[in-house]
Structure 1
Amino acid sequence: MSTFTTTVVENKLELVLYLHHIYNGDNATQKIVVQPNGVNSFGSIVAQDWPCYNNLDVSGAKLIARAQGTHTMTSKSGALSWYNSFSLLFQDGSRFPGSTLEVKGINVTEGEWSIVGGTGEFTNAQGTIYKSTVKTMANVDIVKITIHATYKPTKAGN
């Protein structure tokens, strides 16, 4: 009879980033791909590529990740409720290049998103992203995202 020992290592990630949600203009970080007729935006689908920096002031900040995916207007009532589904893709030059956190949840500027998985360094990730708008300008919301995640990395091919 053979026996084996398994060691499970669980890592924690706590990280603050500043997501730039630029919804109109020449530097927009999202684009409407479906826009149905109607009173409100119900059924609209928007593709996004939101940059996430390590500092509120972009001039001295480093691009750490990009939130790439879609958001869909899911409310018929007139209250804005955007369902988000995206990969938070960590960039070259970050501590976790090429790794992703898979994220889902409603609305962009306030509340919480769920971390429902990940790739690369963040295999088996789960957790929560807390978000709040910290600066609003014409066509731009800068959203502070505070990431709390646990993950159990595995070696490729295992």
Structure 2
Amino acid sequence: MASYAITPVQSELKMTLYNKEVYAGPDINGLRTTTGIQTMGTTWVFSWPVTDGPGPSAKIVGHLQGAGVQVANTPNYVWHYSLGLVFRDKRFNGSTLQISGTSQINGEWSIVGGTGELTMARGTVKRTEISYTGNTGISELKIHVFYTPMDHTAVSGNTAYSRRYDDFYAVL
């Protein structure tokens, strides 16, 4: 028998994190997989480390993993991104945010979903490049997200707000 539980709780989270993009050398974490015509269509895949600060002593809290495709032949480098922010820190370990959007280097992405502690996430990530030296860029990520924490331990309808799936068909 299937069951459900009503969970009306929604949480809000604001945090500032940083990502490091390295496009050449021994620490490379982004790779061009295709080159388009006049750069449009150029595709990159990457696994950028995400840290709690911009400096070398910052702690890695996760990785932005995904792909970016250049979608405009302009000098402003407009990209469409499909990303998963996979957390590995103590609080959100194993949780993810699914991020998507079209933006320039300094722009905003949409948070369109999440898993684990961040289930049913929605919100925005404002990305601002704070440094670019040689082949390495560091960006600030201002994350504002609403999510619904799920009780992943509940497997049956034993709460006062639970009802079996079959109960709904009994009234039809």
1:8-157 matches, within 5 Å, as: 8-36=8-36, 38=37, 40-58=38-56, 60-77=57-74, 79-91=76-88, 93-107=89-103, 109-156=105-152
Deviation at 1:114, TM superposition (A): 0.5
SS at match of 1:55: coil
Q: Kindly name which structure, 1 or 2, has the bigger radius of gyration based on alpha carbons.
A: 2
Query: 1:101-131: per-residue Cα shift (whole Å, max 9, x none)?
Result: 0001224631111100001111100001111
Q: Which residue identity lines up with residue 51 of structure 2 in the other structure?
A: Y
- 1:57 and 1:78 map into 2 onto residues whose CA distance is 30
Q: Which residue identity lines up with residue 126 of structure 2 in the other structure?
A: Y
Task: Point out where structure 1 has 5 or more consecutive residues left out of the alignment.
Answer: none
- 1:94 and 1:110 map into 2 onto residues whose CA distance is 29
Deviation at 1:86, TM superposition (A): 0.7
Whether contact under 8 Å (1:109, 1:141) holds in the other structure is no
Deviation at 1:71, TM superposition (A): 0.4
Whether contact under 8 Å (2:130, 2:140) holds in the other structure is yes
**106 and 23 in structure 1: CA distance in 2 versus 1, 3 angstrom threshold:** farther
Task: Return the TM-score normalized by structure 1.
Answer: 0.87
SS at match of 1:71: strand
Deviation at 1:134, TM superposition (A): 1.2
- 1:135 and 1:88 map into 2 onto residues whose CA distance is 21
SS at match of 1:121: helix
Task: Point out where structure 2 has 5 or more consecutive residues left out of the alignment.
Answer: 156-172
Task: Return the TM-score normalized by structure 2.
Answer: 0.80
RMSD of Structure 2 on Structure 1 (CA): 2.0
- 1:126 and 1:106 map into 2 onto residues whose CA distance is 16
- 4+ residue segments displaced more than 3 Å: 76-79
**108 and 79 in structure 1: CA distance in 2 versus 1, 3 angstrom threshold:** closer
Task: Count residues in correspondence.
Answer: 151
